[in-house]
Amino acid sequence: MRFAGKSIVVTGAGSGIGRAAALLFAAEGGRVIAADRTAAAAETAQAIAEAGNTAEAIRMDAGDEADVARTVAFAVERFGGLDVMFANAGISGGMANIFDTDTALFAEVLRVNLIGPWLAVKHAAPLIAARGGGAIVLTASVAGLRSGAGSPAYSASKAGVINLAMTAAQQLSGSGVRVNALCPGLTETGMTQPTFDYARDAGKLDRIGRLNPLRRGAKADELARVALFLASDDASYVNGQALAADGGLSSSHPVTRQDYGRTAV
């Protein structure tokens, strides 16, 4: 019961890591605001309630400042304050290379994946500090650590999230608010479901995650548990860090290189 009585916002709570984390936060005593831009937020909140725990759902766009402000205000209204913000919502933006990526798509990926976490810090940190401290966890990616694990737009956005966690930790010095970034490897979520489904249908599921030393993809629950660690007092001296949970992929990031003007083989 590491989160007994704690008020917690989870964005992207409609599926994947966000839903798994919301369920786990609630199971450990947290009072959860499940936020998502889809109606699936309500499904997550219902699952939490059916398990005998506490949650409320809210529709929000993670990259819209009014929505983020409304969500943290809802946490204060329903649960009296805010102790933990898990800014997890994100989009992939496809796999186009630098030259084929549309400017509008690049901007949208940055809006959701990077501006979203910044807005989460901006609006959540003062409320968490007012409660005497707590934690903010931002979902980044191993794609933000170095190249080879995502598209240019996605990778750039997640690299920004990692630096945002470091910068925010410094600017919140003395507040009691810790900020860390979680860097998942390939994980089965709503965003990656087509990849996993294709591999299953083709009988090639064993090829998923084959480049990491564990030679498998991750389950959302595995990443959610890392997020809970970072949000809990178990990580009370962990601040401004990017924690990779990727089966060891980022120890080398082995990839097939693509020469300029040629197709990788």
What DSSP letter does each residue of the chain carry, written as one string? Answer: -TTTT-EEEEETTTSHHHHHHHHHHHHTT-EEEEEESSTHHHHHHHHHHHTT-EEEEEE--TT-HHHHHHHHHHHHHHHSS-SEEEE----------TTT--HHHHHHHHIIIIIHHHHHHHHHHHHHHHTT-EEEEEE--GGGTSSSSS-HHHHHHHHHHHHHHHHHHHHTTTTTEEEEEEEE-SEESTTTHHHHHHHHHTT-GGGTTTTSTT-SPEEHHHHHHHHHHHHSGGGTT--S-EEEESTTGGGT-------TTS---
- Predicted confidence at residue 265, as pLDDT, reads 43
Q: What is the mean pLDDT of the chain?
A: 90
Domain boundaries 7-192+219-241, corresponding CATH code: 3.40.50.720
Choose from 186-190, 213-217, 218-222 the range with maximum mean pLDDT.
218-222
Contact 37, 240 (CB under 8 A): no
**Residue 22: which of 185, 40, 38 has the closest Cα?**
40
Confirm whether 260 is a catalytic residue: no
CA atoms within 13 A of residue 127's CA, in its CB half-sphere: 27
Among the listed residues 154, 198, 237, 260, the single catalytic one is: 154
Indicate if the pLDDT at residue 113 is higher than 70: yes
Contact 85, 19 (CB under 8 A): no
- Predicted confidence at residue 221, as pLDDT, reads 95
- Predicted confidence at residue 39, as pLDDT, reads 96
CA dist 50 and 137 (Å) reads 26
Mean pLDDT confidence for 114-137: 98
Indicate if the pLDDT at residue 111 is higher than 80: yes
Indicate if the pLDDT at residue 264 is higher than 50: no
Q: Integer distance in angstroms from the first to the last C-alpha of the chain?
A: 50
The pair of three-digit structure tokens given for residue 47, joined into one six-digit string? 């699952």
Output phi, psi for 203, to 5 deg: 70, 30
pLDDT digits (tens, 9 = 90+) for 51-96: 999 999 999 999 999 999 999 999 999 999 999 999 999 998 888 8
pLDDT digits (tens, 9 = 90+) for 134-187: 999 999 999 999 887 788 999 999 999 999 999 999 999 999 999 999 999 887
- Predicted confidence at residue 147, as pLDDT, reads 84
**pTM over cut 0.85:** yes
Q: Tokens 């990077």 label which residue?
A: 114
CA dist 187 and 203 (Å) reads 18
- Predicted confidence at residue 256, as pLDDT, reads 61
Contact 164, 172 (CB under 8 A): no
Mean pLDDT confidence for 193-221: 69
pLDDT digits (tens, 9 = 90+) for 226-258: 999 999 999 999 999 999 999 888 887 555 656
